[in-house]
Amino acid sequence: MHEVGFLMQAFVFLAAAVIAVPIAARLGLGSVLGYLCAGAVIGPFALGLIGQDIEEVMHFAEFGVVMMLFLVGLELDPSLLWRMRMPIVGMGGLQVVLTTGAITAIAWQFTYSWQHALIIGMVLSLSSTAIVLQTLNEKGLMKNESGQSAFAVLLFQDIAVIPMLALLPLLAVTEVGTFSDKHLLPGWQSALLVLGVVVGIVVVGRWLSRSVFRIIAQTRLREMFTATALLLVVGIAVLMEQVGLSPALGTFVAGVVLANSEYRHELEAEVEPFKGLLLALFFISVGASIDFALLAAEPLVIMAMVGALVLVKMVILLVLGKVFGLTSRSNAIFTFSLAQGGEFAFVLFSYASAQDVLPQTIIQPLTLVVALSMALTPLLFVINERLVLPRLGVKSQAGSRPLDALEKAEGKAILVGFGRFGQIVGRLLRMNGFEITVLEHDAQQVDLVRSFGHKVYYGDAARMDLLETAGIDEVDLLVLAIDDHARMLKTIHQVKRHHPQIKILARAAGRREAAELIHAGADHIERETFDSALSMGRKALSLMGFRAYQAQRAAQLFKHHDKKSLYALSEVIEDDKKYITVAKQHATDLEKVLRSDDQANTDLDDRGWESGS
């Protein structure tokens, strides 16, 4: 790092990423491949902008993987896991075990060491979560049978990485590895240690960290929350390293423990950008360390290995799909989508190399093979869509569904603000069986409503990243029930820019705010005091001599006119003068309608009932 200087180096990395990733994305290759290519281009085999210090960068960037596993843990929703336990454990488990077995058997023929073969088998059994999920999402297949099956398998693989990381050091071949300088304790002691540390993390995560987060949240200083979140992850990583365990395992457990806490979405939003950047750095350094001389020297061998890897994976996936009863169409998508090596392979290879359990002569070509197999994924998708699916016969979507007796409404929503206003909205939605995610930015209020058994998360809605982690790209509805008008306007602008299809319902203080919210793009607004005031007015009318139904109609007529004028006002909201003119005009119009006794019969008393009686 001394030769180039930190800033220069950062510039090279960032520039490479910024150029390569959009190109890769445009070509449908996904961001992981983009980073790998960027790394390859700036690495010693092409431009040579970065040199020997790449090892150092990679070690630093590996922390991104630790963060990734923290987030994987954080996103593990126990109820989802339970609902999908069959495909996850069945399909996912069998995929990992069978593929590991098959590849281990093949690798054994070449490596003559069962430990090496087993490591290779495990590492190559994984697929690329990043590439597959992104591609399936883009093609709108996530909700289908094929997408759900692929997701289940990927989920199992993500979890399987943890025991693999733990297993790697145990697979050291003593004469090769520097086994002795890892101060390992005897078996029972180290087992006890692992247990103790995990219990410690659970205790800290469950009770201590929540009080800390609450105190930090009350300071309302965002950077303090960021610092605390990072401190938690780094702290656990340091602790795990001290006791000689995998930091990834520790943060994963911490993530799982915090998955149910009210700070889940906030933590995700804070850690996510750091993870993203560090992982990018990690993939770039993997790309830079790929030995392209190998490909040039022995293209046939490498290509054969790529072919064998993809083929073995596809055969196993195809059989699994059949066994688990996927339709041939879903099975084709499932099989083709998961046939590549994954980004976790790089992680495990670099870990294996650090632990000296696998020689570079094996790691180098296999890293290349994994990268190439990932690059093949878009090609496999094309083959599947052009050559395979047409032969299976595309069943028409319409007409295949039976005519249900009941049409079920199934929307998802995010509700922001769980005070007096939001609670009513939220309870009504939940009581009717709708799945909603609730965010509230006041830590004390979160505590209070949680004690009544409401599931509420801490978080500030004006932050787009937080809404993203709360799953805004999957909802149909965003309900803004906070009383901070400026913040609400900002949120509406942001959400409408990124997700124009989402309907936004907003709470307005008064008339002017309501008009502003409509102008900003809210699909529906409700003035917080309007309906109750109207209701009181109606009661007053009836106490002063109106028949109850007459008072009800008068109130409804008032509401109707008022709404019309509100929408008219929202169109001139930016022009103060016009706003006042329009407001006055509508006020006089309404009064005319309500006051004139002669006309009252036609407008108020509903002509239909008057006539002929």
Partner 1 sequence: MASALIVYAHPAHQRSRANRVLLDRISDLHNVTVHDLYETYPDFFIDVEAEQALLLEHDLIVIQHPVYWYNMPALLREWQDLVLEYGYAYGRQQQKLAGKGMWVVMTAGAPEHTYCETGVNERPLSDYFLHYPRMANVCHLDMKPTFEIYHGRHTEDATLEEAAEQYRSRLLSYLKELSNHA
List interacting residues with partner 1 (CB under 8 A): 402-409, 553, 556-557, 559-560, 606-609, 611-612
Cβ 330 to partner 1 shortest distance, Å? 25
> Which residue's CB is nearer to partner 1, number 79 or number 611?
611
Please tell me whether residue 438 adopts helix, strand or coil conformation.
strand
Cβ 601 to partner 1 shortest distance, Å? 13
CB atoms inside a 10 Å sphere around CB 37: 25
- CA-wise closest residue to 66 among 316, 344, 464: 344
> Which residue's CB is nearer to partner 1, number 480 or number 554?
554
Q: Say how far residue 25 (Cα) sits from the centre of its chain.
A: 18
CA distances from 534 to 319, 526, 530, 546, 553 (A): 66, 13, 6, 15, 12
> Which residue's CB is nearer to partner 1, number 370 or number 551?
551
- CA-wise closest residue to 482 among 493, 494, 497, 492: 492
> Which residue's CB is nearer to partner 1, number 83 or number 560?
560
CB atoms inside a 10 Å sphere around CB 225: 21
Cβ 538 to partner 1 shortest distance, Å? 13
Cβ 553 to partner 1 shortest distance, Å? 8
Q: Residue 473 carries which DSSP code?
A: G
> Which residue's CB is nearer to partner 1, number 85 or number 607?
607
Which amino acid, residue 530? F
> Which residue's CB is nearer to partner 1, number 496 or number 553?
553
CA distance 93 to 101: 12
CA distance 27 to 21: 10
CA distance 364 to 386: 34
- CA-wise closest residue to 75 among 252, 243, 299: 252
CA distance 267 to 415: 18
Cβ 608 to partner 1 shortest distance, Å? 4
| Residue 117, Cβ density class (10 Å: 0-12 exposed, 13-18 middle, ≥19 buried) | buried
CA distances from 304 to 78, 118, 299, 307, 552 (A): 41, 20, 8, 5, 80
Cβ 609 to partner 1 shortest distance, Å? 6
Q: Backbone phi, then psi, for 254, in 5-degree steps?
A: -60, -40
Instruction: Enter the tokens of residue 562.
Output: 């008022």
Residue with tokens 């090892």: 55
H-helix or E-strand containing 416?
Answer: strand 412-416
Instruction: Enter the tokens of residue 216.
Output: 């930090």
408: left (phi over 0), alpha (psi -120 to 50) or beta: beta
> Which residue's CB is nearer to partner 1, number 241 or number 476?
476
Q: Is the distance from CB of 236 to CB of 203 less than 8 angstroms?
A: no
CA distance 310 to 131: 15
> Which residue's CB is nearer to partner 1, number 408 or number 595?
408
> Which residue's CB is nearer to partner 1, number 592 or number 607?
607
Q: Is the distance from CB of 133 to CB of 154 less than 8 angstroms?
A: yes
> Which residue's CB is nearer to partner 1, number 143 or number 564?
564
> Which residue's CB is nearer to partner 1, number 409 or number 543?
409
CA distance 393 to 398: 15
Residue with tokens 């002569």: 361
> Which residue's CB is nearer to partner 1, number 188 or number 549?
549
Q: Is the distance from CB of 506 to CB of 480 less than 8 angstroms?
A: yes
> Which residue's CB is nearer to partner 1, number 398 or number 543?
398
Cβ 398 to partner 1 shortest distance, Å? 10
CA distance 35 to 343: 11
Cβ 142 to partner 1 shortest distance, Å? 26
